[in-house]
A = this chain, B = another copy of it.
Amino acid sequence: MSIKIALLGFGTVASGVPFLLKENKEKIVQAAHSEIEVAKILVKDDAEKERLLAAGHDFNFVTNVDEILNDDAITIVVELMGRIEPARTFITRALEAGKHVVTANKDLLAVHGTELLETAQQHKAALYYEAAVAGGIPILRTLVNSLASDKITRVLGVVNGTSNFMMTKMVEEGWSYDAALAEAQRLGFAESDPTNDVDGIDAAYKMVILSQFAFGMNIAFEDVGHQGIRNITPEDVAVAQELGYVVKLVGSIEETPSGIAAEVAPTFLPKEHPLASVNGVMNAVFVESIGIGESMYYGPGAGQKPTATSVVADIVRIARRLSEGTIGKAFNEYSRELILAQPQDVKSSYYFSILAPDSKGQVLRLAEIFNSEDVSFKQILQQGTDGEKARVVIITHAVSKTQLEHVSAQLKEAADFELLNTFKVLGD
């Protein structure tokens, strides 16, 4: 038996798909219980088609998606075009035509996932997207299969390779944000407009998807707070090091007594925490649960072959389910009503970096402000001054979002204090 698939798009990741299908054919056939054949590939126009054929790519390239959607021999459609449109329309039409769909398009899934999953269910079609979160790390299927027996309490993820590459340069080599960004752009890790990566938007999309798999809750992108890495200074990084921490952009989802809370924020990780040694463009998802306790899944977050491997794993799974006659089950069946946490239940230690007048009694004044909101200090450090201003760094014990807001507001009101930065601190 042979299963015919079609690719929508033939960029970097897509061209990795036929490579893997050929290179690992024997193993894939054993796992899929059938051969898998790339029958058609959608490209933009005739010019691209001619260019690819001239470059020696021996595939049946088509320029009209209808040639794929109307082809009853094609069972699986693999969308690797990226962005929202026309991917959204093509996936919807493919599902409506009863075809199974594999995609790596996290932006689309984070924003229109619910609608697409409903269309898939209506037509008893599979919609799989392992590659959408942390490209090469098999995290979604692992959450579905292996953690089905466990109750997850928190997920922490270093899931944006670009910002992690930059943070690694900033932490290990003391680079500034601007220098790290320039290097990331030079190496092709960051786009000319780096907003999605450095402002935590890309990581927040991934938190939306992870919240469905880890907590069975469909949190909206708008409900995932995101703070990026733009305003992290070399001074913040240096003081973190001094206090035993590494700064990274970390996505988190946790279940509190009142509901779940998800956010993306620069976070001080204790040096010995497994996430602290995830460097460069590598990604990792750290899972805390009542059964396993702590587990971590580490690998490349992007790249041609890693992403294509996850895409092909999805294709194999669909082929296997077709051969077993069990196709059409949702990728993720874990589903609970969404309940968002109350701010007073979302707790963490925090780092405050404050510029204060270099005169007597300032630490006492700060202590009074924190104390008035019932926030206690874990570490405090007063740093080198220019004679007029002192930099005071405070790491608190766990405080709620509500307390955090109140303390920050008081610090901003106090005319002679300047609140430079506030970051989450893992631990406590």
User: For residue A289, which residues in chain B have a CB less than 8 angstroms away from its CB?
Assistant: 309
CA distance A289 to B24 in the complex (A): 11
Question: A309 touching B150 by the CB < 8 A rule?
Answer: yes
Give the shortest distance, in Å, between A339 (CB) and chain B (any CB). Answer: 14
A291 B24 Cβ-Cβ under 8 A: yes
Instruction: Looking at the assembled complex, report how far the CB atom of A304 sits from the nearest CB atom of chain B, in whole angstroms.
Output: 10
| Pair B333/A306 contact, Cβ less than 8 Å | no
Provide the residues of chain B in CB contact with A27, threshold 8 Å.
148-149, 151, 216, 334
Q: Mark A295-338, 1 if CB is under 8 A from B, else 0.
A: 11111100101101110110111000000111000000111100
- Identity of the chain B residue whose Cβ is nearest the Cβ of A31 in the assembled complex: B148
- Give the residue of B138, B148, B151, B334 whose beta carbon is less than 8 angstroms from that of A313: B148
Output the least CB separation between A348 and chain B (Å): 23
A23 contacts partner chain B, Cβ-Cβ < 8 Å? yes
- The CA-CA distance from A290 to B277 in the complex, in Å, is 23
A145 within 8 A of B: yes
A149 with B305: CB separation less than 8 A: no
A294 at the interface (CB under 8 A from B): yes
Residue of B nearest to A316 (CB): B148
| Complex-state Cα separation, A277 to B289, whole angstroms | 21
Contacting B at CB under 8 A, from A1-51, are 16, 20, 23-24, 26-28, 30-32
Query: Given B146, B151, B306, which contacts A138 in the complex, CB threshold below 8 Å?
Result: B146
Question: Main secondary structure on chain A at its contact with chain B?
Answer: mixed
Chain B residues with CB under 8 A of A146: 130, 138, 141-142, 310, 313
CB-CB < 8 A to A316: which residues of B? 148-149
A33: nearest chain-B partner, CB-CB: B333
Distance A137 CA – B31 CA, assembled complex (angstroms): 22
Within 8 Å by CB of A28, from B16, B32, B144, B148, lies B148
Interfacial chain B residues near A62, Cβ < 8 Å: none
**Chain A 132-154 per-residue mask, 1 if CB under 8 angstroms from chain B, else 0:** 00001110011011111111000
Interface string of A259-300 (1 = CB under 8 A from B): 000000000000010100101001000000111111111111
A298 to chain B, nearest CB (A): 4
Q: Which chain B residues lie closer than 8 Å to A136 at the CB level?
A: 291-293, 295
With A142-B146, A149-B312, A313-B147 given, is the CB distance from A306 to B335 under 8 Å?
no
Contact, CB under 8 Å: A298 / B300: no
A window 174-202: CB within 8 A of B = none
CB <8 Å contact, B326 and A23: no
- Determine the residue in chain B with the shortest Cβ distance to A329: B324
Q: How far does the alpha carbon of A148 sit from the alpha carbon of B318 in the complex, in Å? A: 12
Could you say which of B291, B295, B300 contacts A293, with CB atoms under 8 Å apart? B300
A333 to B: closest C-beta gap in Å:
6
Asked if B309 and A292 make an inter-chain contact with CB atoms under 8 angstroms apart, the answer reads: yes
Q: A147-B313, A313-B146, A335-B30 are in contact. Are A298 and B296 (CB under 8 A)?
A: yes
**Contact of A149 with B297 in the complex, beta carbons under 8 Å:** no
User: How far apart sit A64 and B310, CA to CA, in the bound complex (Å)?
Assistant: 47
Q: List 30 A-B pairs, Cβ < 8 Å.
A: A24-B291, A27-B151, A27-B334, A28-B149, A30-B334, A31-B149, A31-B334, A130-B146, A136-B292, A138-B147, A141-B146, A142-B142, A142-B146, A146-B310, A147-B313, A148-B316, A150-B313, A282-B294, A291-B309, A291-B312, A292-B299, A292-B300, A293-B300, A294-B299, A294-B300, A295-B297, A295-B298, A296-B297, A298-B298, A324-B326
Q: Which 8 A-B pairs have the closest CB atoms?
A: A138-B146, A291-B309, A295-B299, A149-B312, A31-B148, A296-B298, A136-B292, A149-B313
Given A149-B312, A277-B277, 11 other A-B residues pairs in contact with their CB atoms under 8 A: A24-B151, A30-B333, A31-B144, A130-B146, A138-B146, A138-B295, A292-B305, A295-B297, A295-B299, A296-B297, A324-B324
